[in-house]
Amino acid sequence: MPETRVPRRRRFLVCEPRHFAVQYAINPWMQPDVRVDVDLAQEQWQALIRAYRSHGHSVDTLEPVAGLPDMVFAANSAVVVGGRVFGSLFHAPERRPESTHYETWFKTAGFDVYRPESVCEGEGDLVWTGRYVLAGTGFRTTREAHREVQEFFGHPVISLTLVDPYFYHLDTALFVLDDNIAYYPEAFSPGSREVLARLYPDAVLATRDDASAFGLNSVSDGRHVFIAPQAEALAARLDERGYVPVPVDLSEFRKAGGGIKCCTQEIRS
């Protein structure tokens, strides 16, 4: 029988996709000539918020800003551990103004915010495991930022190199399941795959189809996994391990290379 797992209440920060669009191309998923259905994006995003709240999680919202179409991807704005906020410095100039608006929200909410000196894209590349930070690099966040993160939080940082441009952020190739992870091995360099295999010998392994469906851009509360419904094989493997998949379709956001986790910043007090 699969293990019975216990959910933990989470606090999330999100930003409404009122101005969501694909106006430039900064990853292979983005095609500016492809029209975004803003009404559908709104419906899908609202369904995600309802799913979080119906499972007992609290959700804070940040007002979107016109001219910043990717601001909906709240995860890239920061990483929050122990009530301390490490902010963002985006690789793409088009996204850099987002940082100021998120920083203002955090400061208004009573948090101090550290501004990184090196390119760093928040929870897109920085995944808190409860013991250390798994940190992606190769396309966006730099290794210099990894060192800043370790100095700021005082927790070990384990650098992982991403090698597939379709999985340009760590949160497109890996997510945390309590004391375990799910990931797509081929998104990583050979050495990084060895590191993950040693750290997580019992990890849930995903296929390229799972990853391409943004199944690894998921959010877990320890029992429930909010996951793209298109990642059917991964959902089945999670079910076998005692997790409860909660399908939420954010397919419209894949046009910009985003999914459930991209739209969700976790605030850890």
- Residues recognised as catalytic: 169, 262
Give the DSSP H/E element, type plus range, for residue 204.
strand 204-205
SS3 of 74, please?
Answer: helix
Provide DSSP, 148-176. Answer: HHHHHH-S-EEEEEB--GGG-SGGGTEEE
CA distances from 147 to 120, 138, 174, 265 (A): 11, 15, 21, 22
CA angle, corner 116, sides to 113 and 117, nearest 5?
145
Taking alpha carbons only, the member of 76, 111, 49, 10 closest to residue 250 is: 49
Largest CA distance in the chain: 51
Question: What's the Cα-to-Cα distance from 223 to each of 3, 203, 227, 242, 266, rounded to whole Å?
Answer: 10, 16, 12, 8, 16
Residue the block writes with tokens 């216990």: 6
**How big is the chain by its Cα radius of gyration, in Å?**
17
